Amino acid sequence: MSIYTENDATGLAALVAGGEVTPDELLDAALEQAAAWNPHLNAVVHMQEDVARAKIREGLPEGPFRGVPFLIKDLGCEAVDFPTNNGSKLCEGMRWGYDSTLFTRFRATGLNTFGRTTSPEFGVGPVTESQVYGAPTRNPWNLGHTSGGSSGGSGAAVAAGIVPAAHGSDGGGSVRIPAASSGLVGFKPTRARLPMGPGTGEGWGGMAIDGVLTRSLRDTAALLDAVAGPESGAPYAAPPMEEGFAAAMGHDPGRLRVRMVTTTFTGDAVHPDCVAGVENAARLLEDLGHVVEPWAPEDALDVPAMMWAWTRIVACGTAGRALKILGDRPLDPAMVEGVTRGAIAYAKTVSGTDYLDAVGQIHAFGRRMAHAFDDCDIILSPTLREPPCNVGYLKPDNDDWADYRNGAHSVFAYSPFTAIFNASGQPAVSLPLHWAGDLPVGVHFAAPFGADARLMSLCGQIERAAPWAEKQMEVIRRGPPA
């Protein structure tokens, strides 16, 4: 059904509203795409066709995405109708007793959820490889490579045309990394722009936030508009936006001052293909009238100290989740990944004082990053240090937590840009502006805290000047291997 794969979520909703297709027909098409692609990708799990059919019969809400098939990540986004593994054998088939605020808001748009997408265990890592799924999640552009993580299943499913948009979450780049790896739009809003409750007040010391992966910017904008907004009792609140995401993407942002980074924030070299993506984006920005200047981040930012604080916080968060699930039961090491075993061991070395100090370091880093925008409006960089890595390169079997996170061939070495803006809470986005052969290479844009509308406005200007839809369609039209 080419009408399904050739349209984004906004286009499909318009077809439903106009009576040209029915929600059942769209669900049929989504399931057909999943049947063709999922054996190669291992991206979609816990499919609940009966739930989706029942929602159609009951009458889907009259929202902006009525009838459009949707997938939620197999981590968080609590939903009564959808069991979860949270990426782990410890939780295999677990059921939630309530719907999260975010899922309730997604459902109110008329989206028709029919399954979940794969995640690494407890969302730790920039690749999606977890024993609970039996095999790694692969990139539809090149099956030998990762689709990213931790929302790697969502990235693969959207890139392959199984759904036009899917839920993701981002605690260290987990929306933007799959977007970069799979040729998609991945927008991380300002901290607390989206709800996390009622079961969770914050994730990883305030660094985690939910989001979506889409092919088109207008889908991202409309979905964020539909689910953004304060949640009663939340520990954080984002500054009010001067206009909505969709309104912002519809007009140019004015002349912006852009700092361009072509090394890591600590001065290390970046893969030439990633540098080329940034330099091409910089030329485009200059053609659009913006002022772009090279920037070497100051040592005073102290990114390594931030990453060690991040490492302690996430180790404690991962260990806490695993141990809470276990309760009084002993841990069977075979039930968790090596990285989780390493996190549990590492967390035992972190005292309460150490943890609070780490949170304080993250907050201090956020203040330092805020001042990095005193003389600019946007920071431009690669999303990743290299194109999407081979499957298995960052397999989570390393039980040395510190080495897996910060070693020579570690998560931070592979993804040195994204976690910076989780720590600062600032909005950031990866856009599909470059390809290295058959692999997508994302380009990353970040803005000051609360400046989501300005960032979205710039994204809209970029998409109008250098549209990416036809490039994305190459992999969908090609289809899965025979």
* DSSP state for residue 94 in the 8-state scheme: B
Long-range CB contacts (within 8 A, 24+) of 325-330 = 325/88, 325/90, 325/91, 326/90
Q: Say how many CA atoms lie within 13 Å of 295 toward its Cβ.
A: 23
| Backbone angles phi and psi of 254, in degrees to 5 | 85, 175
Q: CA-CA distance, 109 to 126, in Å (whole number)? A: 29
Q: Say how many CA atoms lie within 13 Å of 181 toward its Cβ.
A: 35
Catalytic residue among 73, 89, 188, 395: 73
Scanning the structure block, which residue is given the tokens 């380009």? 443
Q: CA-CA distance, 224 to 244, in Å (whole number)? A: 9
CA 477 to chain centre: 24
Is 150 in the active site? yes
Q: Which of 384, 364, 369, 179 is nearest to 264 (CA)?
A: 384
Could you give the C-alpha distances from 77 to 3, 72, 183, 197, 238, in angstroms and in order?
29, 7, 24, 9, 20
CA 184 to chain centre: 10
3-state secondary structure of 448: coil
Catalytic residue among 130, 147, 151, 174: 174
Q: What are the start-end ranges of the E strands in 50-121?
A: 69-73, 112-117
Question: 112 pairs with which residues across the strands?
Answer: 69
Q: Which of 280, 259, 271, 250 is nearest to 388 (CA)?
A: 271
Q: Say how many CA atoms lie within 13 Å of 287 toward its Cβ.
A: 11
- The type of residue at 278 is V
Q: What are the start-end ranges of the E strands in 247-376?
A: 257-260, 291-294
Catalytic residue among 150, 151, 169, 181: 150
Is 457 in the active site? no
Scanning the structure block, which residue is given the tokens 């109708």? 81
Kind and range of the H or E run holding 322 = helix 303-326
User: In the chain, what is the straight-line distance between the N-terminal and C-terminal CA atoms, in Å?
Assistant: 18
Q: CA-CA distance, 370 to 425, in Å (whole number)? A: 10
Q: Annotated active-site positions, please?
A: 73, 150, 174
